[in-house]
């Protein structure tokens, strides 16, 4: 009995987070009505408040949830190119605001940037997510170094540079008439020399 209750609570929490990701991305954490998230998730508002004490906690966990869902793709080696340069380009694509779920992910990141800038309690969430992104790219670059496909002087610095390029060009692609294709090209041209080869 207790196991079934725990499973039901976990299922409700996941539905709340799925709904929160969609609605926060569409409307912003300040404008979305908590009652709408509860309704879309098929739960009561009181249950939502039981799981999430504040809007900040809901935003933080929605981001973590979104990252975990994206992680299913990021860790599926069958979906990734085998050669290190092509794999890294594929990874860059997974971090740009392409239409669909990646666009929603980006809108959540924008919410995190805005709120973490004003509310220190959200900064550990940002730091944790950036650390995971850093590790993901660092591991891929290290694999390319081990295979002789990359030559990198300072891997941590290269990854920091890459994440900054993704943030900068990604936000331009999100809010300007700046294509994803151009963002991808500019990022690659900038980062390729740090990997030890000229961009094509």
Give residue 199's pLDDT: 59
Q: Which residues of the chain have pLDDT under 50?
A: 1-3, 5-8
Residue 39: inside a domain:
yes
72 and 48 in one domain?
no
Q: Provide the H-helix boundaries in 42-153.
A: 45-51, 55-74, 84-93, 101-118, 123-146
152 and 104 in one domain?
yes
169 and 78 in one domain?
yes
pLDDT digits (tens, 9 = 90+) for 130-156: 999 999 999 999 999 999 999 999 999
Residue 165: inside a domain:
yes
Give residue 160's pLDDT: 98
48 and 71 in one domain?
no
118 and 47 in one domain?
no
What pTM does this model have?
Answer: 0.82
109 and 33 in one domain?
no
139 and 44 in one domain?
no
89 and 48 in one domain?
no
Which residue from 197, 168, 198, 161 is spatially nearest to 182, judged by alpha carbons?
168
155 and 94 in one domain?
yes
The CATH code of the domain that includes 101 is 1.10.357.10
The CATH code of the domain that includes 34 is 1.10.10.60
- Could you tell me the residue range of the domain that residue 43 belongs to? 1-52
CA distances from 7 to 4, 14, 21, 73, 94 (A): 5, 11, 21, 25, 31
Residue 40: inside a domain:
yes
CB atoms within 10 A of CB 187: 24
| 148 DSSP 8-state letter | T
Give residue 1's pLDDT: 45
Give residue 185's pLDDT: 95
pLDDT digits (tens, 9 = 90+) for 33-53: 888 888 998 988 888 888 888
Paired tokens of 147 = 């295979």
């Amino acid at each position: 009995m207790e196991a079934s209750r725990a499973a039901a609570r976990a299922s409700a929490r996941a539905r709340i987070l799925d709904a929160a990701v969609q609605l926060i991305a569409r409307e912003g954490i300040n404008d979305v009505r908590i009652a709408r998230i509860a309704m879309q998730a098929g739960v009561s508002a009181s249950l939502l408040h039981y799981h999430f004490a504040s809007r900040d906690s809901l935003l933080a966990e929605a981001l973590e949830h979104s990252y975990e869902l994206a992680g299913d793709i990021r860790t599926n080696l069958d979906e990734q190119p085998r050669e290190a340069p092509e794999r890294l380009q594929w990874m860059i694509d997974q971090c740009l605001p392409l239409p669909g779920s990646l666009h929603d992910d980006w809108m959540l990141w924008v919410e995190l940037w805005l709120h973490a800038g004003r509310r220190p309690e959200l900064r550990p969430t940002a730091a944790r997510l950036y650390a995971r992104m850093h590790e993901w790219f660092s591991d891929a670059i290290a694999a390319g170094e081990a295979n002789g496909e990359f030559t990198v002087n300072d891997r941590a610095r290269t990854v920091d540079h890459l994440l900054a390029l993704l943030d900068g060009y990604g936000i331009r692609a999100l809010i300007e008439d700046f294509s994803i294709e151009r963002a991808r090209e500019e990022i690659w041209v900038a980062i390729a020399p740090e990997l030890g080869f000229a961009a094509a």
